[in-house]
Amino acid sequence: MSEVQDAASDTRERLMDVAERLFAERGYGNVPTRMIAEEANANSAAVHYHFGSKENLLEAVFRRRLEPLNRERIAKIEAAVAGSEGAPDVEVVLRAFIEPTLRKPRNDGERAFRLLSGRASTDPSPEVKRILFQAYDAVARAFADAVARACPHLSREELFWRVACVYGAMLYIRADNGRLQPVFGEEFSLSDPEGALRYAIAFMKVGMQAPPAAPLD
């Protein structure tokens, strides 16, 4: 690779690193491309040169983190199904889906992306929704299929609501907004991956295995 190509690749990575942090801190809609370029020590037009648009930059940020993560999650989900005789163990399926997303971040970039993904899940902008739905579609479908096999006692409607509760718990933990510390004390934190996996998955398992809700009168 030539020096010019090296420089371009380095600029592209810096832009993604800065965008990831700023989107996580401020929200996608509150970060202009000029701010990203300035903090990345790049030309003001660098975002459009390397990515074409801010939307494409956000998509590149998600793709960089999620492609390897979702390959791992899908492989674990498929192994949970293939390794079972009959209905797979719902705890194994839940752990395959959730554990890779709740591991302790290894660096500032992973910490920023964890916050970004939680924030983006409630972002109302169409471009953010499109990117998220596309980025998570394959793993979401794999999980929905596996958990349906693990919980044959549930109707499609009830499965929908229980999976929504799983998503809600997982995303709230990932967002880690500090809301519960004033209530329970600073010694507890949603950024504790061991606590999240120990308690959250046990809670979700019981919820998924519970008998169907009583029918309406």
Residue 4 pLDDT:
45
Has residue 215 been placed in a domain? no
- DSSP state, 44? T
Query: Does residue 81 contact residue 146 with C-beta atoms inside 8 Å?
Result: yes
CB burial of residue 150 (10 Å; 0-12, 13-18, 19+): buried
C-alpha 190/C-alpha 72 separation (Å) is 23
Domain CATH number, residue 25: 1.10.357.10
Has residue 214 been placed in a domain? no
Has residue 105 been placed in a domain? yes
Query: Does residue 151 contact residue 209 with C-beta atoms inside 8 Å?
Result: yes
Q: How many separate domains does the chain show?
A: 1
CA distances from 94 to 91, 103, 107, 200 (A): 5, 14, 25, 10
Q: Percentage of the chain with pLDDT > 70?
A: 96
Residue 1 has pLDDT above 70, yes or no: no
Which string of DSSP letters, residue by residue, matches 95-153?
HHHHHHHHSPPSSHHHHHHHHHHHHHTT---HHHHHHHHHHHHHHHHHHHHHHHHH-TT
Residue 50 pLDDT:
94
**Domain containing residue 55:** 3-209
Residue 215 has pLDDT above 70, yes or no: yes
Has residue 216 been placed in a domain? no
- DSSP state, 40? T
Residue 146 pLDDT:
97
Has residue 149 been placed in a domain? yes
Residue 6 pLDDT:
52
Q: What is the pLDDT of residues 105-160, one digit of tens each?
A: 888 888 899 889 888 888 889 999 999 999 999 999 999 999 999 999 999 999 99
Mean pLDDT of 196-200: 89
Query: Does residue 188 contact residue 180 with C-beta atoms inside 8 Å?
Result: yes
CA distances from 216 to 207, 208, 212 (A): 20, 20, 12
